[in-house]
A and B are shown apart, each in its own frame.
Chain A
Amino acid sequence: MTTLSTRPTAGLRTSGTRAWLSRPSGGWRQSAANKAFLLPAIAVFVFLFIIPLGQTLWWSFTDFTGYSPEAAFVGLANYRVIVTDPSMLAGLAFTLLFGVGTTLLITLLAIPLAVQLNKAFRGRNLVRSIWFFPAIPSMAILGLVWRYILSPLESGALNTVLGKVGLGPVSWLSDPTLARLSVILVGVWAATGWHAVLYTAYLQSIPQEYYEVARIDGATPRQQFFGITLPLLTPAIVISTFLLMTGGLKVFDLPYTLTTGGPGFSTYTITQSIVVSGVGQGRYGLASALAVMFTLAVAALSFGQLWLTRLVEKRFA
């Protein structure tokens, strides 16, 4: 087997190239050329991220409507509107609930699921595919389909099934609490399989010798899970929860298609507020202020989460 350290033979290259490559880093020209290859990425980053971010920050202090480049400076007025608007505060509350709720539930479900999917059994690949399937369609499509399944009417798909076993129709999407729960559960259903596959990939990298030694020492499956599997899955947990939290906080399509943010503002999200205020209402200044506050909140939460998971990682390392 070829090792990764095998280098190509110098004989395949010209002597000039060999001399040039023989320097530890290829010299300043090579270094400059290497850096030049970063230019496209930097340009994309600057044009698509830094400049829009700066522009958003500026607009957040103006009454920009999106129809004229002229915008008057209004100071912190947009920020004051946000912190006193009940609909925006409701959006913030549900966004946090969705982000934290889906992260916790998916993590709690995906790890045991991954352990089961990692075991050898007949039809394993089919079962893995079935679990992975909900991650393929867009959340908007899933939201529309689930809207019919969770219809609060007696003729709704789920209520029809419940009716067959003698249970009355449930107000899935018309009761504020059940609507919040429904959105979170559909989000969990859609993403658990994907994250289980992520965990499965990490599980496969855990040497089987550890489990053999543990079995010889008399460790129970539970002890093996908490003593070997879980600690060695910590890097995967860090990645998975980070993706879940950032994705959960930015959620828009699922609640929008499933409940349109209702009933009332019970499943309204911050991203929906940004889109509605900006595009729908031509209040780009306000939407920008909301986006700035949201970016800061997501950054704080994400860094906090990373710091916490790093601590856990170190503890199990």
Chain B
Amino acid sequence: MKRRSRPTALAAFAAAALLALTACSGSEDGADADGKTTLTFLSWTGEEQMEQVIDAFEEAHPEIAVETSYSPPVAEYIQALQTRVLSGTAPDVFLIAAENKTNLIDGEHVVDISGEDFVENVAPFNLETYGRDGAYYGLSLSSWAAGYLYNKELLAEVGYDAVPETWDEFLEMCAKLQDAGITPFLESVDQMPTTISAWIGAKNDGMDPSLDDQIFSGESTFAEQWMPELEEYNRVFEEGLMSPDVVGLDGDQVRDEFANERVAVINGGPWYIGALREANPDLDFEFSLVPAVDGGTPFAAGAASPGYAINSKADEDKQEAAKTFLRWLATPEAVELFQSLTNDVTVTSDFEPPVDPAFEPMVPSIREGKLYLPMIAWQRAEDVLNVEAVAQIQRMIRGEIEPEQVAEALDTKLAAS
């Protein structure tokens, strides 16, 4: 009898093993332990930096323990958070970003923090970026900006000490550089071009209702609002001052050309500084705002960094603990610690972040919120429009379509979304 049951027993063992394997989902009840409230947190910032911030918080607030998990930005973070939101296991605190803000706000997954005292010292631009109709859903403590980086020595060879303030003058400088045998300008266009973002931002600055309010309400169109800027941008290719081959380059390749002093001006942000200093310690460079078009002012592309958000499905105690965490994150001590670990340009009124001297021309724009990034400013179908815009601008650069068709493609995409 025992012998006969042996294969069956083995099969049962196999089935049990399978059940054990398939039942390996961990429990994450966040229950209080030793009188502490345990807060779950999905960090956007890497473990090396965030661990020190969390340690400092737990030291300041021993009644709260933070259970941190990490997921690298951007796509992986968005996917990880989305999966957890859908399965009802979202952390108590997470980051709201350009890529998920519409879905998180529409789905009422985030708590409105507009009435909290810890938002008072944060730049309105950052709060409004992750807000809607007067409500704020993310505590964004820093911003990033992108503009032009220029090689001072190469510009000096043609008599310039900085990037000119207008586009016409900039193109004139590019022509002089080209005549001197220097590649004047390279801009990576694997993302929305910095130049176009900055120009649309400059145009939008001070508009009421905003440029995007007009487009997304149907009052205006991309064709109306974007056409002059697209035409101006196309000039740099039509006049042969930038190679259409930029459509085959990514940001790192453009940066490497600049590091090797093979190009005078490129687009970029503070994330290039470390790599440039390491690759070429003798390189003398500085940032500048994007030259203005159409009587406007020089402007920067950029956006508020993702904001800390509180899970609306968390229970009351957790939400209170989460607010304590956010309140502490906005203190000058925490901001200083975070800034020293990440080098982000923070935007709280009670702490002045130190920055690399080359990046200083960009800091006022960041602190004043004079930044614009279409993907963040757009009110729906952000990524759909961004993918379409990048692809159509690349086609325009290759000469396959006219600027008008780029704008029309965006209007068509918006209408279909």
With the chains together, A16 CA to B4 CA distance in Å? 9
B180 to chain A, nearest CB (A): 17
Most chain A beta carbons < 10 A, residue from B75, B102, B394, B400? B394
Binds A, one of B36-44, B53-61, B79-87, B144-152: B79-87
Do B86 and A69 touch (CB < 8 A)?
Answer: yes
A68: B residues at CB distance < 8 A: 86, 107
Q: Using CB atoms, name the residue of chain A closest to B2.
A: A16
The interface size of chain A toward B, counting residues with CB under 8 Å, comes to 53
A279: B residues at CB distance < 8 A: 75, 78-79, 82
With the chains together, A37 CA to B395 CA distance in Å? 56
User: Is residue B257 within 8 Å, beta carbon to beta carbon, of the partner chain?
Assistant: yes
Do A32 and B8 touch (CB < 8 A)?
Answer: yes
Most chain B beta carbons < 10 A, residue from A30, A36, A67, A68? A67
Interface residues of B in 141-170 (CB under 8 A from A): none
With the chains together, A37 CA to B14 CA distance in Å? 7
Do B4 and A152 touch (CB < 8 A)?
Answer: no
A55 to chain B, nearest CB (A): 12
Hey, what's the 0/1 contact readout for B213-236 against A, CB within 8 Å counting as 1?
000000000000000000000000
Do B3 and A20 touch (CB < 8 A)?
Answer: yes
User: Is residue A102 within 8 Å, beta carbon to beta carbon, of the partner chain?
Assistant: no
With the chains together, A265 CA to B253 CA distance in Å? 21
Interface residues of A in 118-166 (CB under 8 A from B): 147-148, 150-153, 155
User: Is residue A247 within 8 Å, beta carbon to beta carbon, of the partner chain?
Assistant: no
Do B394 and A153 touch (CB < 8 A)?
Answer: no
Contacts A29-B4, A87-B388 given; does A263 touch B15 at CB 8 Å: no
User: Is residue B18 within 8 Å, beta carbon to beta carbon, of the partner chain?
Assistant: yes
User: Is residue B249 within 8 Å, beta carbon to beta carbon, of the partner chain?
Assistant: yes
User: Is residue A47 within 8 Å, beta carbon to beta carbon, of the partner chain?
Assistant: yes
Contacts A20-B4, A152-B245, A279-B78 given; does A39 touch B107 at CB 8 Å: no
Q: Using CB atoms, name the residue of chain B closest to A282.
A: B103
Hey, what's the 0/1 contact readout for A274-316 against B, CB within 8 Å counting as 1?
0010011111000000000000000000000000000000000
User: Is residue A231 within 8 Å, beta carbon to beta carbon, of the partner chain?
Assistant: no
B301 to chain A, nearest CB (A): 19
User: Is residue B111 within 8 Å, beta carbon to beta carbon, of the partner chain?
Assistant: no
With the chains together, A131 CA to B78 CA distance in Å? 39
Do A29 and B3 touch (CB < 8 A)?
Answer: no
Interface residues of B in 390-404 (CB under 8 A from A): 390-392, 394-395, 397-398, 400
User: Is residue B262 within 8 Å, beta carbon to beta carbon, of the partner chain?
Assistant: yes
Binds B, one of A93-101, A169-177, A211-219: A169-177
Q: Which of B11, B85, B100, B253 contacts A39 (CB 8 A)?
A: B11
Do A30 and B79 touch (CB < 8 A)?
Answer: no
B390: A residues at CB distance < 8 A: 262
Hey, what's the 0/1 contact readout for B2-16 against A, CB within 8 Å counting as 1?
011001101110110
Do A174 and B398 touch (CB < 8 A)?
Answer: yes
User: Is residue A17 within 8 Å, beta carbon to beta carbon, of the partner chain?
Assistant: yes
B243: A residues at CB distance < 8 A: 152-153
B3: A residues at CB distance < 8 A: 14, 16-17, 20
Do B248 and A152 touch (CB < 8 A)?
Answer: yes
A contacts with B: majority SS: loop
Contacts A36-B14, A67-B103, A282-B100 given; does A263 touch B394 at CB 8 Å: yes
Do B257 and A153 touch (CB < 8 A)?
Answer: yes
Q: Using CB atoms, name the residue of chain B closest to A173.
A: B248
Q: Using CB atoms, name the residue of chain A closest to B79.
A: A279
With the chains together, A195 CA to B365 CA distance in Å? 56
Interface residues of B in 1-35 (CB under 8 A from A): 3-4, 7-8, 10-12, 14-15, 17-18, 22
Do A282 and B391 touch (CB < 8 A)?
Answer: no
Hey, what's the 0/1 contact readout for A165-188 against B, CB within 8 Å counting as 1?
000010111111001000000000
Hey, what's the 0/1 contact readout for A226-243 against B, CB within 8 Å counting as 1?
000000000000000000
Interface residues of B in 80-110 (CB under 8 A from A): 82, 85-86, 99-100, 102-104, 106-107, 109
Do B245 and A264 touch (CB < 8 A)?
Answer: no
Q: Using CB atoms, name the residue of chain A closest to B17.
A: A40
B381: A residues at CB distance < 8 A: 281
Q: Which of B7, B107, B109, B248 contacts A259 (CB 8 A)?
A: B248
User: Is residue A81 within 8 Å, beta carbon to beta carbon, of the partner chain?
Assistant: yes
User: Is residue A72 within 8 Å, beta carbon to beta carbon, of the partner chain?
Assistant: no
With the chains together, A263 CA to B243 CA distance in Å? 14
Do B104 and A67 touch (CB < 8 A)?
Answer: yes
User: Is residue A43 within 8 Å, beta carbon to beta carbon, of the partner chain?
Assistant: yes
With the chains together, A44 CA to B381 CA distance in Å? 36
Do B248 and A172 touch (CB < 8 A)?
Answer: yes
Contacts A33-B10, A281-B384 given; does A147 touch B4 at CB 8 Å: no
B111 to chain A, nearest CB (A): 16
With the chains together, A260 CA to B246 CA distance in Å? 13
With the chains together, A179 CA to B398 CA distance in Å? 13
B11: A residues at CB distance < 8 A: 33, 36-37, 39
- A–B Cβ pairs within 8 angstroms, 14 of them: A16-B3, A29-B4, A30-B7, A33-B10, A36-B8, A39-B14, A39-B18, A67-B106, A67-B107, A151-B253, A153-B243, A175-B248, A263-B247, A279-B79
Extra contacts besides A14-B3, A36-B11, A281-B384 (20): CB < 8 Å: A29-B8, A34-B7, A36-B14, A39-B15, A40-B18, A43-B18, A43-B22, A44-B18, A67-B86, A153-B249, A153-B257, A173-B249, A174-B247, A176-B398, A259-B248, A262-B394, A263-B248, A276-B387, A281-B387, A282-B82
Interface residues of A (CB under 8 A from B): 14, 16-17, 20, 29-30, 32-34, 36-37, 39-40, 43-44, 47, 65-69, 81, 85, 87, 147-148, 150-153, 155, 169, 171-176, 179, 259-265, 268, 276, 279-283
